[in-house]
Amino acid sequence: MTHSVLDKTAELADQLREQAVQAEKIGKLTDDTVKLMKRAGHIRLLQPAKFGGLEVHPREFAETVMALAALDPAAGWINGVVGVHPYQLAYADPRVAEEIWADDVDTWVASPYAPRASPSRSTAAMSSTGAGSSVRAPITATGSSSVPSRATPTARCRCLRRCCT
């Protein structure tokens, strides 16, 4: 099914490239680009089939996002960020998805991915405290921080690579 989304993307290539130029000028996706993305099913790639989605493998999602981004980087960015939310909603209480997609399976959902840390300065380093923070960055003479290529952990590393343990 994703191949049809990729096929539709290829068919719309000229229009998407043209719209990318306009989007760059106005600082947002054009209404036409949004309509093309909805018609092609870009945001429904990871949406559960039960709620009108295509329910594809994450690799197919990524390939589709990259193909779109090659034509219109902003549209690819939106597809990658907004398009992952239907996957996240699949793990929520089903009543949430029912409410969101009851009237329109093409409803787009977004949420903030904001750090929950508070910066603090010391004479030697700038550190971040709070949920999810574990990096200290030295302060330069000008007062700006520079993150070393291999961050020094101040708390247990939470990354999957276990690079800091």
Radius of gyration of the chain (CA): 20
68 contacts: CB under 8 Å, gap ≥ 6? 9, 16, 37, 42, 75, 76, 79
Per-residue HEC secondary structure of the chain comes to: CHHHHHHHHHHCHHHHHHHHHHHHHHCCCCHHHHHHHHHHCHHHCCCCHHHCCCCCCHHHHHHHHHHHHHHCHHHHHHHHHHCCHHHHHCCCCHHHHHHHHCCCCCCCCCCCCCCEEEEEECCCEEEEEEECCCEEEEECCCCCECCCCCCEECCCCCCCCCCCC
pLDDT in tens, the chain (165 residues): 445 898 899 999 999 999 999 999 999 999 999 999 999 999 999 999 999 999 999 988 999 999 999 999 999 999 999 999 999 998 999 999 999 999 999 999 988 766 676 666 655 444 445 554 444 433 334 444 344 344 444 444 444 444 444
- The pTM assigned to this predicted structure is 0.67
